[in-house]
Amino acid sequence: MLSAGLINSSEKTAAYGPTPARFYVLFAFCLLSFNQCLFWITFTPIASNAKLYYGIGDDVVALLLNWGPIIYIPVCFVTSWLTAQKNGLRRVCVGSAVVTGVFMVVRCIPSFRHGHKDTIGPLSLLDFVCLHSAQIVNAAVGPPVMASPSLLSAQWFPDNERNRATAVAILANNLGAAIGFVLPGWLNVRSPSAVPILLYAEAGLAVATMLLVLAYFPAAPYRQPSRSAMLKQNEPPPPFFSGLLNCMKNPHFFILAMAGGALNGVFNTWSGSFDQILPPLDPVASCAAHPSGMSHTLANGTVVVDLPPCQIYTQDSCGWIGFVATIAVIVGGFIGGSIADSYLSPRKMMKAFIVAMSVLMVLAMAYFTFALPSALLETPPVPSTPVAIVGGIVAAALFMGAATPLFYELGVEMTYPVRLEIEPAA
């Protein structure tokens, strides 16, 4: 009996354990997530050149960015339902990789047709459809890569590796935004005619990722990574709509979701528009728009403009500001998560920390707002030096990043025992 018990025990132990393929799957998923955010933010760091190249205005550039949150809302429900089905994670990842690879090439069709010109506008119907459909499809890939890190780590990683795997998967999306701000500078995209270079580079990356995922992305490991995963292996798919309804009926969770969504949504849109928010380095236009910038003409005809400090932002500098802000979000997330693990176990303490970080973020954003000239306040009421403005941006990013992990953690506690696949839709 004893030997039989030992044999059975060893068989049970051998029935689960981590597999080497988990690192490949994590890498492929991270690359897909990285690409999604990189492609989403494509036109923001080059807004001035994109407007000239396509013959479009600020409203169209803003729409290309805003397709992200617009499409996220309806697609997140579909994503949650798909991932709750058998082999759901593989289906959404492979499908996302394929449509991204195809439509990033479609986005290049206007450039294929017209070449490297200073402008190809006004856009024809075909060019308009190619440009916007690519951004819409990329936006639809957002929910699969943003809502699945916890599910991926639960399916592929043992208990002692899950938190790190989840953090890496989430970090990949943020890293895509950070690189997206500085990539145009690395590729020397400093004129309208150079915009296609950026599009071709991103299309190549999308196709390479598609081939990588198609080559190998199994639905599940050949053995479960942990005992808990093994026990859940044969469970039927969770009741999606009843779980979603339970989340929506929870008033505390509803308020938390609205607050977290508002803060993250406003910050992401705001931080993705620095090239349009911050005044460009255009001496004539800046002096005309802001009388506080005085100009005079030298004997040789050269126009010299004495600009206020807040009017020195170029495309490259705005890109680096966005990069630093995104890194601040990542650092803030690690800090907030560490503080929560060590000191904020009671739910009330987590709530107090979220409120404190949210208030500090709003104050930092308010400082940034009042540091720039506007139609109401021609002269900024607070110091508007580059150091002060960038400091306000980084502070807002840091506080927002610190609060974000706690929104997720508190949401999981409030909706227990609803399954992980259903919570993103709520």
Looking at residue 5, its pLDDT comes to: 44
Q: Report mean pLDDT in 10-residue bins for the chain, 426 residues.
A: 41 64 92 95 89 90 89 85 83 95 96 88 91 96 87 81 76 87 89 94 96 91 69 60 72 80 77 69 43 47 46 71 87 77 67 88 86 73 80 90 77 65 54
Integer angstrom CA distances of residue 322 from 201, 309, 390: 20, 19, 10
User: Is-contact 118 193, C-beta < 8 A?
Assistant: yes
Q: Which residues contact 202 (CB under 8 A, 6 or more apart)?
A: 35, 38, 39, 42, 104
All domains of the chain in start order, with CATH = 22-160+173-220 (1.20.1250.20), 239-278+313-426 (no CATH)
Residue 10's pLDDT is what?
42
